[in-house]
Amino acid sequence: MPTSSDPTVTTAAADVVLPAHLHARPAGHLAQAAARFLSSVTLRHQDRTVDAAGILALLGLGATAGSTVTLQAEGPDAETAVRALAEILATAE
Torsion of CA 77, 21, 67, 31, to 10 degrees: -20
Confidence of residue 3 (pLDDT cuts 50, 70, 90): very low
Measured CA to CA, the distance from residue 33 to residue 19 in angstroms comes to: 19
- Summary mean pLDDT of the chain: 92
Q: Which among 21, 23, 29, 45 is annotated as catalytic?
A: 23
Q: Is the per-residue pLDDT at 81 higher than 90?
A: yes
Residue 23 is a catalytic residue: yes
pTM: 0.87
Mean pLDDT across the stretch 16-45?
A: 96
